[in-house]
Structure 1
């Protein structure tokens, strides 16, 4: 994920180049050590100066980079691992594969707290190396909200805390407020332990409990892993709602389903529909007749969606097909049989792709379901 720092992920001019980057566990102060075997003085680009590695790194590690190891060690010694920025909104324990139990705290960080902005600028540098196309937020904008995840450990008779992740949210205010989750990060060595699920759950609860006019919670450009986690959490919220019971789902997506998803859980329209489709797909799989109805329902919805918002060139072709089928005019005769067949196949492929996505999600979240 270093293409933003180094163009094409290449560094020119060195033999045996190594870049070591260290972060202090609590304060996130950064030490960078760059060393190499030799600088290349000949070759196809001998007329070019070697890349200045530190100059390329500086914009992405903007706050107090250290290049002196002794200075960094002294900084670590002066660290205050018992201090956290903000107030605890949730705490829990987690047990790893070896049976070791660790405590975690989720902290609501106030951007006005002295020292927090500088700390976050240091810690957020990590996302550049682990999140594709990541960027930094404007901490001077009061519409940002940030929750931090801290790992808790006991050293001697004191509790020590280390930041291991965060979630940033932006509040769009008009008549009501829409909250958009912008950045969501857990350090790699603590991923796949359920910590992201806990942080996302706390984020939902924090937004719903602190923003009185909250209309919906959205997510900016989620990847597949985050999407599955979000779907899993949303299903855990909605699965016991009477309107989402098994035989209610077989009747199709209703206004009551949308109303409960939006008003109580702050889902977007699209996410409410998706949760319905995942649940209906699950309950229909063992019933061929109901599964056929489910597929027809998905196809109908996808057609309507394309009619309103064609997403790309392929969707524009689908839109042509849908408009052609609905028209009774002779003008539609310009579409020959082969064109109509190809467009029909494209529409079916879109539906199959969407259903495959739902089924893939189901394979990862089966534990959320229980017999009804």
Structure 2
């Protein structure tokens, strides 16, 4: 009996990362938007068709899944009690007016059963609504469709336009905002839910703190009318730095999945870094707990900047701390990032076979840094083990540098 019960229970479990469909919706007619909502709610849609399915129907829907839902549905990212579950989280592409609707074929506590226990379906609606902006939520499809049409025609980004660029014949605009700007605090509440879906361990910022600077990126489409779609955004906090400076730190950095891999993250990062470099009261640009993908993007852009300024010409290992400090001050990179870039720049110019002595000096330069950064952990090892661990770390570092350099 226990085996039968376990099998039955497992059949009613659903992975929430797969069941949740996030949509960015735009359209110029209420009827077209309503038709698009019906079509995208179908259980089976080919991935290739998801982003173009509604173009011929008077509306456009970009559809994608989250990476994480554990902050909403628990660490296992699974809910119980449904068959054919589909959680539709729909946003007006620009204003982020929101519609949440949940569909399923069957629910376990609505079924007749001979099981010896009463099984109850999980509450899916409440945990998700708790992280959404309540004032943005629409109560019906009709209300949402009307907002989408109005926003497609009339929504404009909030804040000061800071930058514009073109990618594949499409214009993208970047805006800088403060939580004190009229209407932006409300808009930020709509955006911040995306963080939970795509940044591991993400937390909402303190919206009463005026030291935040927030940058948003929008796709600008000019067809029958001008319309905007959110691409991504970044929050940057301004720490005090003695005696009269500020140290900016990138806290949250997100490009929505449909726009990833197109250079928008690099555009946003380069703009922020340029802003920091041009602002006298700023020291160096730091980053809070960066992901591997962000580190790669930052490495590529920082290296291109330094190469464009011929920073590594004539530079040889070992590089003096004073020289690294001067470069750090000049380009306003954190010390760790400046050291990393210097090491990559030196490796890029090495001829390992032609100048083995130069390569030996480079390895010693990097190994000394590795040893200094891990001195507490290495202190417990004997000399042979220390050398082995440092050598292993160096090999991994050099491999990683070659990987980054191959992307330049």
Alignment-derived partner of residue 164 in structure 2: 91
Match of 2:284 among 213, 216, 231: 216
Query: 8 Å contact 1:81–1:161 — kept in the other structure?
Result: no
Alignment-derived partner of residue 351 in structure 1: 394
Alignment-derived partner of residue 170 in structure 1: 237
Tell me: CA distance 1:285–1:3, structure 2 relative to 1, closer, same or farther (3 Å). Answer: farther
Alignment-derived partner of residue 76 in structure 1: 148
Alignment-derived partner of residue 228 in structure 1: 296
| CA displacement, residues 165-200 of structure 1 (integer Å, 9 cap, x when unaligned) | 111101111422111101111111111111111110
CA distance in 1: counterparts of 2:379 and 2:115, whole angstroms:
51
Query: 8 Å contact 1:14–1:37 — kept in the other structure?
Result: yes
CA distance in 1: counterparts of 2:390 and 2:259, whole angstroms:
41
Alignment-derived partner of residue 6 in structure 1: 73
- Structure 1 residue 261 displacement after superposition: 2.6
Alignment-derived partner of residue 93 in structure 2: 25
Alignment-derived partner of residue 49 in structure 1: 120
TM-score normalised by structure 2 residue count? 0.76
What is the aligned length?
Answer: 331
Alignment of 1:53-64 (within 5 A): 53-63=124-134, 64=136
Q: Which consecutive aligned stretches of 4+ in structure 1 deviate over 6 angstroms post-superposition?
A: none
Match of 2:184 among 87, 99, 116: 116
Alignment-derived partner of residue 373 in structure 2: 305
Query: 8 Å contact 2:247–2:282 — kept in the other structure?
Result: yes
CA distance in 1: counterparts of 2:175 and 2:293, whole angstroms:
23
CA distance in 1: counterparts of 2:361 and 2:239, whole angstroms:
38
Alignment-derived partner of residue 284 in structure 1: 350
1:155 is the counterpart of 2:226 = no
Alignment-derived partner of residue 370 in structure 1: none
Question: What is the RMSD of the two structures over their aligned residues, measured on CA atoms?
Answer: 2.2
User: Which stretches in structure 1 are left out of the alignment for 5+ residues?
Assistant: 96-100, 311-315, 322-338, 366-372
User: Which stretches in structure 2 are left out of the alignment for 5+ residues?
Assistant: 1-67
Query: 8 Å contact 1:89–1:206 — kept in the other structure?
Result: no
Alignment-derived partner of residue 274 in structure 1: 340
Tell me: CA distance 1:67–1:10, structure 2 relative to 1, closer, same or farther (3 Å). Answer: farther
CA distance in 1: counterparts of 2:276 and 2:118, whole angstroms:
56
| CA displacement, residues 111-130 of structure 1 (integer Å, 9 cap, x when unaligned) | 22221111111122122222
Match of 2:271 among 198, 202, 208: 202
| CA displacement, residues 72-129 of structure 1 (integer Å, 9 cap, x when unaligned) | 112212225452211111111111xxxxx10011111132222111111112212222
Alignment-derived partner of residue 190 in structure 1: 259
Shifted more, 18-27 versus 251-260: the winner is 251-260
Query: 8 Å contact 1:143–1:171 — kept in the other structure?
Result: yes
Tell me: CA distance 1:81–1:259, structure 2 relative to 1, closer, same or farther (3 Å). Answer: farther
